[in-house]
């Protein structure tokens, strides 16, 4: 490489000859200040702004050759010279950046993600805030200030996080039954409009796994899960009656897809006795039951997996759901809630910008007491909600789940 210091080329013709004779040579000017001086002097000496387009191209190629700048950068520097003149300004020096979130803060983020199975960033942010504000844990004071976007940055790039343990449906046959109205429920902001769906836990060698029954309230996202060994009236009737009785508010509507486990006379009689209206999804309207189907993936599959579980384990799973999982989902798991807005075309759209645990979302409703079942009070529910912090209860739930996983019967796979 040849270092250019005193370049005495002031005409376009000389630049052309220089370029022809130095095709295979590399040049450089020692400093950025010298490069700027050379560019400014060359542009002035050739009268750059009065040149033809072809000659301007020659001048650019010459300056790129002797300075080492790329074409885009040279174009930017010439544009700057035309506007304000090109003068060297020494860049400011900055000290080393200060780490805002220390290893102990990252450890708390990891702890939260492990306990809650790495939910979305906005939910994690709210959980960290709740640990500090609601439950008074001073250790969370700093990490509670983290932005949602930086949570994703740490998950993707932080070595401490990456080395942690934080990273780690059968279709139903349609039936033609004159049960339930084909209609999408419209709750008008009231709780009690329940969406329900089944999640099958796989098949193995002709044996059916357990079925998870998932019920979600459309407004508050209050969610209750149960488990049955088979989708039959014998098992579904007592489970549905139990789950419906566990909601703290009055149930108004029961909505499902068109599966025969819900569109049948047994379920119809249960709902009629409880004065609950039954509706079912419309044809070619895939979003009618989208809320519970989304929860099937983000809750059931996330925590229970996709591998086969023997139906003999349904009782143990049901106990885990009743004692830990349903409490966790409604009192300690942060969910996103949408705000409706109208776009430029006048179409109503949703923006998921609110975060609550389902219980606190229910309490935030206007005159929420009017929706409570008889004999249920918020004082009673507060005792459950604030007995333990979100992370503490999530860790307790995870321990119970590990114990469950050791006890449930798993298939024995032999090598062929």
- The domain segmentation of the chain, as residue ranges, is 2-84, 103-162, 181-395
| Residues 75-131: tens digit of each pLDDT | 999 988 888 888 877 776 666 667 889 999 999 999 999 999 889 999 999 999 999
Between the CA of residue 358 and those of 161, 336, 362, what are the distances in Å?
A: 28, 10, 6
Does 249 score more than 90 pLDDT?
yes
Range with lowest mean pLDDT among 163-177, 258-272, 374-388: 163-177
CA distance 304 to 405: 9
Given this model, what pLDDT does residue 410 score? 57
Q: Give residue 176's pLDDT band: very low, low, confident or very high (50, 70, 90).
A: low
181-395 belongs to which homologous superfamily?
A: Ribonuclease H-like superfamily/Ribonuclease H (3.30.420.10)
Between the CA of residue 356 and those of 82, 188, 214, 368, what are the distances in Å?
A: 56, 19, 20, 15
| Residues 232-244: tens digit of each pLDDT | 888 999 999 999 9
340 close to 355: Cβ distance less than 8 angstroms: no
Does 370 score more than 80 pLDDT?
yes
Between the CA of residue 151 and those of 44, 81, 97, 143, 336, what are the distances in Å?
A: 51, 42, 18, 10, 16
Given this model, what pLDDT does residue 168 score? 64
CB atoms within 10 A of CB 110: 21
More confident residue, 371 or 284: 371
CA distance 13 to 21: 13
pTM, whole model, 2 decimals? 0.69
Q: Report which listed range, 159-168, 281-290, 329-338, is most confident.
A: 329-338
121 close to 151: Cβ distance less than 8 angstroms: yes
Given this model, what pLDDT does residue 126 score? 93
Does 345 score more than 70 pLDDT?
yes
Given this model, what pLDDT does residue 25 score? 63
Helices and strands in the chain, H and E counts: 17, 12
Does 342 score more than 70 pLDDT?
yes
98 close to 52: Cβ distance less than 8 angstroms: no
Token output for 245: 């009785």
Q: What is the mean pLDDT of residues 143-166?
A: 91
220 close to 187: Cβ distance less than 8 angstroms: no
CB-facing half-sphere around the CA of 23: CA atoms within 13 A? 2
Given this model, what pLDDT does residue 1 score? 44
CA distance 216 to 222: 6
H-state helical runs in 120-182? 121-133, 148-157, 159-162
């Amino acid at each position: 490489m040849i270092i250019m210091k005193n370049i005495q080329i002031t005409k376009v013709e000389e630049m052309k000859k220089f370029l022809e004779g130095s095709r295979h040579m590399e040049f450089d000017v020692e400093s950025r200040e010298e490069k700027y001086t050379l560019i400014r002097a060359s542009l002035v000496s050739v009268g750059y702004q009065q040149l033809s387009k072809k000659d301007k191209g020659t001048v650019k190629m010459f300056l790129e050759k002797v300075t080492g700048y790329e074409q885009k950068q040279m174009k930017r520097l010439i544009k700057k010279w035309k506007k304000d003149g090109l003068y060297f300004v020494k860049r400011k020096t900055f000290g080393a950046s200060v780490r805002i979130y220390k290893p102990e803060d990252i450890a708390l983020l990891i702890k939260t993600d492990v306990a809650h199975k790495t939910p979305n960033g906005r939910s994690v942010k709210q959980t960290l805030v709740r640990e500090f504000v609601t439950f008074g844990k001073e250790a969370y004071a700093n990490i509670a200030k983290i932005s949602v976007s930086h949570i994703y940055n740490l998950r993707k790039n932080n070595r401490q996080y990456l080395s942690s343990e934080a990273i780690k449906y059968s279709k139903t046959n349609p039936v033609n039954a004159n049960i339930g109205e084909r209609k999408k429920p419209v709750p008008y902001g009231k709780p009690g409009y329940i969406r329900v769906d089944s999640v099958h836990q796989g098949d193995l060698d002709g044996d059916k796994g357990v079925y998870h029954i998932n019920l979600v309230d459309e407004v508050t996202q209050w969610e209750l899960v149960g488990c049955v060994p088979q989708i039959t009236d014998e098992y579904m009737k007592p489970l549905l009656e139990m789950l419906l009785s566990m909601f703290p508010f009055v149930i108004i509507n029961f909505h499902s897809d068109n599966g025969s486990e819900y569109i049948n006379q047994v379920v119809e009689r249960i709902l009629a006795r409880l004065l609950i209206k039954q509706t079912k999804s419309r044809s070619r309207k895939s979003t009618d039951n989208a809320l519970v189907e989304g929860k099937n993936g983000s809750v059931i599959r996330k925590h229970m997996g996709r591998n086969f579980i023997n139906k003999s384990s349904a009782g143990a799973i049901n106990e885990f759901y009743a004692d830990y999982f349903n409490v966790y989902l409604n009192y300690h798991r942060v969910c996103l809630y949408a705000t409706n807005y109208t776009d430029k075309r006048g179409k109503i759209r949703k923006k998921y910008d609110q975060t609550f645990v389902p219980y606190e979302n229910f309490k935030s409703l206007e005159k929420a007491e009017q929706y409570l079942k008889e004999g249920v009070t918020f004082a009673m529910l507060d005792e459950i909600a604030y007995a333990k912090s979100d992370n503490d209860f999530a860790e307790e739930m995870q321990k119970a789940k590990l114990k469950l996983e050791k006890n449930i019967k798993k298939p024995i796979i032999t090598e062929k």
